[in-house]
A and B are shown apart, each in its own frame.
Chain A
C-alpha cells in the first residue's frame, strides 16, 4: 500500500532531480572556466603546474605544508612542491605515489583532496572546506596530462645553507627533504628526497655518490641506501634507508666533486659535495 499523505511536495523535487542533465560546456574553456570573463578576476585555474601552484598550493596548502615542520615533510611552497609531489611515494600510504603521472585515480594527492575512503588521515585541505570538484578536476587533468612541470621554472633554492641557488644552466641541488638541520619528532622518515635542477644520470647513483652517515658515531658504517629516480620526475632522487632510522643525528652526503661524482644526463657535474643533516628524535 502506498502512503503518500503529506509528502506531495517531494514529488516535483524528485522529478526535477531526475531530469537534471550535465552541462554542455558552452562558453567554458578547456578547464571548465568561463571564456573571457569580464571584470578583473584572478587568472583562471588551468591544468598546468604553475597555475596549480599559484591558485591552490600556495594560497591554500602552504598554510600548513611549509617550513621544516610541514606535515609528512611535504613542503608545498613553490620551491619544493613539484619535487616532493611528482613520483614520490606518500608517507601516509607508501604504496601510492603522491602524484602518479597519467593516473589521477592512483595519485594520493587526488584521493586526499577528494576524501576518498582509502586515505589515511583527514581530507585535504586540512581544517578548511573541501575544494570544489571542478578545482580538483583541474588537478586531475594536469595529472592525466602527465603531470608536467611548470613551463617557467617555479623552483628556487631551498632554505638550507648547504644548498646553493642554481642558475638556469648549472646542475645543482634544489631541494632536500628532510631539510638541513631539521629535527623530526614524528616517525622516522621512510625516504629522503633530493631534487636537482636537471635530470639526473641514474647510472651515477651508488654508495659512493650517496652516503648517509650517523653523526657522532665515528667508525660506524653508513646506513645502506637504495636510490632511484622518481617516476615521471627524473630530476628527483628517492633514497630509501634499508633499515629504520633510530633516534640520533644523520648526515647525508651527496658527492659531486671528483671523478664519478653526481652529474646530470648531459654529464654536467655538481662540482661540489653537498651535506645535509637531520635529527630523528626519540619518543618522548
Chain B
C-alpha cells in the first residue's frame, strides 16, 4: 500500500465492518449487495437522500471503477462538527418516441438536490432538510427532526418525509411507485416511528395524506412496513391507508424482497391498490416490478427491470408492461454515467402506452 493511500485506508478501517455494509444511492440493489439496511448508509433510516460518513466512504472506495487519490483530503460530508452536506445532480439527454407523434429529444436537468443535516445532539437528535433546487424554483422534499433511542433501535421522526412503502427506488416513474402513489416525489407531513433490531426493520407513519399539503378533515394516511433482512436476502410487507380524500379511501398492500445470487442481485415488489375515491365502486390495481442488477465489475452495473400494471382488475385485456435495460458506469468517485432504454407497452388502442425512451444520464453525487 502506498503512503498516499494510507490515510484513506485508516479512515476506512476506523469504520470497521460497517464500511462493507454501506450503500450510496437510493438504489435498494446496493443495499442487497452488501446485505445491509438502508440506514447503514443514509441518515434517513428508510433510505434516500443524504449519505452518512460510511456511505460517503463507500461511494469513494467501493463504487467507482477507479479511485482518484485525494490524499488526506477526503470528502465525508462533514462541513462542520455538527453539520453534514450532500447533494445529487441528474442531467440527461433523451429521445422519446410515441407512435403517431413527433419524436421528442433534448437535454433536461432532471433534478439537483441539496441535503443538509445538523446533529444537534450527536447520535441522538438530527435535523434534516432535502431541498430540490433545480429545475424550476426551490422545492422542499423533506424537512424533519429525528430522535434516536440511545441504542439506535428506535427512532421518532416528525416533519415532511418520504413515506415507508415498498422499495425506495430511484426511478419515481416505476409502475409500482406510480400505482401506489408513494414515492420520493410525494413526501407527506406527519410522524414516523421506526424500529431497527437485529434483522428487523420496521416503520409506522401517520401523515396528512395530502402529499405535503394542508391537512383535510376527512382523515389521515397510515403507512407501515416491516422487513426481515438477511445478508443474502430480504423480505418485507407494507400496507397503506389514506382516508384524506373526501371522495373515498385508498388502500394499498404490497410485498417486496430481494435475493443475492453471486454477482447478480434480484429485487421484486408486488402491490395491490384499492382506490375507492374514484367512484363506481372504486378501482383495484395490481402493479409489480422485477429487477436484476449484475455487477459486471467494480464500477460497472447492468440493470434490467420488468414491470407490469393492471390498472383496473375488473377490466380484462388492459394491462401495461415496461421493460428497462440500463448500464451504469461509475468511472471515478462521485460520478456516474447511466445509459438506458425503456420500452413501455399497453393496449393497441392507446399509442401513449407504447413509449420508447432512450437516455444517457450524468449523475453526480456527494
B136 touches A134 (CB 8 A): no
Docked pose: A16 CA to B185 CA in angstroms: 29
B315 touches A28 (CB 8 A): yes
Return A11 CB to nearest CB of chain B, in Å: 9
**A141-B178 contact in complex given A22-B346, A41-B280, A127-B216, C-beta closer than 8 Å:** no
Q: Is A117 an interface residue (CB 8 A)?
A: yes
**Chain A residue contacts of B257, Cβ below 8 A:** 7, 10
**Chain A residue contacts of B279, Cβ below 8 A:** 42, 59
Q: Digit string of A234-257 for contact with B (CB within 8 Å is 1, else 0)?
A: 000000000000000000000000
**A127-B289 contact in complex given A17-B268, A28-B317, C-beta closer than 8 Å:** no
In the complex, which residue of chain A has the Cβ closest to the Cβ of B273? A129
B262 touches A127 (CB 8 A): no
Among A28, A117, A129, the most chain B Cβ lie within 10 Å of the Cβ of A129
Q: Digit string of A85-105 for contact with B (CB within 8 Å is 1, else 0)?
A: 000000011000000001111
Q: Is B266 an interface residue (CB 8 A)?
A: yes
**A32-B350 contact in complex given A41-B280, A119-B136, C-beta closer than 8 Å:** yes
**A20-B346 contact in complex given A4-B259, A103-B104, C-beta closer than 8 Å:** no
Docked pose: A196 CA to B300 CA in angstroms: 57
Q: Is A34 an interface residue (CB 8 A)?
A: yes
Please tell me the size bucket of the interface on A. 35 or more
**A34-B102 contact in complex given A1-B262, A129-B250, A133-B320, C-beta closer than 8 Å:** no
Q: Is A6 an interface residue (CB 8 A)?
A: yes
**Chain B residue contacts of A2, Cβ below 8 A:** 261-262
Stretch in contact with the other chain, from B42-50, B55-63, B204-212: B204-212
**Chain B residue contacts of A102, Cβ below 8 A:** 101-102
Stretch in contact with the other chain, from B149-157, B306-314, B328-336: B306-314
Q: Is B68 an interface residue (CB 8 A)?
A: no
**Chain A residue contacts of B178, Cβ below 8 A:** 114-115, 130, 133
Q: Is B70 an interface residue (CB 8 A)?
A: no
Q: Digit string of B264-282 for contact with A (CB within 8 Å is 1, else 0)?
A: 0010101000010111100
B183 touches A10 (CB 8 A): no
B179 touches A133 (CB 8 A): yes
Q: Is A106 an interface residue (CB 8 A)?
A: yes
A122 touches B173 (CB 8 A): no
Q: Digit string of A7-28 for contact with B (CB within 8 Å is 1, else 0)?
A: 1001001101110111111111
Docked pose: A63 CA to B213 CA in angstroms: 13
Return A28 CB to nearest CB of chain B, in Å: 6
Q: Is B169 an interface residue (CB 8 A)?
A: no
A133 touches B309 (CB 8 A): yes
Docked pose: A127 CA to B280 CA in angstroms: 20
B139 touches A121 (CB 8 A): yes
Contact of A129 among B101, B181, B183 (CB under 8 A): B181
Q: Is A116 an interface residue (CB 8 A)?
A: yes
A30 touches B349 (CB 8 A): yes
**Chain A residue contacts of B283, Cβ below 8 A:** 132
A32 touches B104 (CB 8 A): no
A117 touches B111 (CB 8 A): yes
B316 touches A23 (CB 8 A): yes
Number of interface residues of B (CB under 8 A): 82
Q: Which residues of A in the span 141-195 have a Cβ within 8 Å of any Cβ on B?
A: 141, 144
Q: Which residues of B in the span 314-366 have a Cβ within 8 Å of any Cβ on A?
A: 315-321, 345-353
Q: Is B110 an interface residue (CB 8 A)?
A: yes
**Chain A residue contacts of B108, Cβ below 8 A:** 118
Q: Is B214 an interface residue (CB 8 A)?
A: yes
Q: Is A266 an interface residue (CB 8 A)?
A: no
A21 touches B290 (CB 8 A): no
**Chain B residue contacts of A28, Cβ below 8 A:** 315, 317-318, 347, 349
B317 touches A29 (CB 8 A): no
Among A22, A26, A105, A122, the most chain B Cβ lie within 10 Å of the Cβ of A22
B312 touches A144 (CB 8 A): no
Q: Is A198 an interface residue (CB 8 A)?
A: no
A144 touches B316 (CB 8 A): no
Q: Is B23 an interface residue (CB 8 A)?
A: no
B211 touches A132 (CB 8 A): no
Among A17, A41, A102, A137, the most chain B Cβ lie within 10 Å of the Cβ of A17
**Chain B residue contacts of A31, Cβ below 8 A:** 349-350
In the complex, which residue of chain B has the Cβ closest to the Cβ of A2? B261
Return B80 CB to nearest CB of chain A, in Å: 30
Q: Is B186 an interface residue (CB 8 A)?
A: yes
A4 touches B261 (CB 8 A): yes
Q: Is B96 an interface residue (CB 8 A)?
A: yes
Given contacts A3-B233, A30-B350, 11 further A-B contacts (CB under 8 A): A6-B233, A27-B317, A42-B280, A93-B135, A102-B101, A105-B98, A115-B183, A120-B136, A122-B186, A126-B213, A127-B210
Q: Which 5 A-B pairs have the closest CB atoms?
A: A25-B347, A127-B210, A120-B136, A17-B290, A20-B308
Task: State the A residues within 8 Å of B (CB).
Answer: 1-4, 6-7, 10, 13-14, 16-18, 20-34, 41-42, 59-60, 63, 92-93, 102-106, 114-123, 126-130, 132-134, 137, 140-141, 144
For this complex, 26 residue pairs linking A to B, each with C-beta atoms less than 8 Å apart, are A3-B231, A4-B233, A14-B268, A18-B290, A23-B319, A31-B349, A32-B346, A32-B347, A41-B280, A59-B247, A60-B247, A92-B136, A102-B102, A103-B101, A105-B104, A106-B104, A114-B178, A115-B185, A126-B211, A128-B277, A129-B250, A132-B283, A133-B309, A137-B350, A140-B352, A144-B100
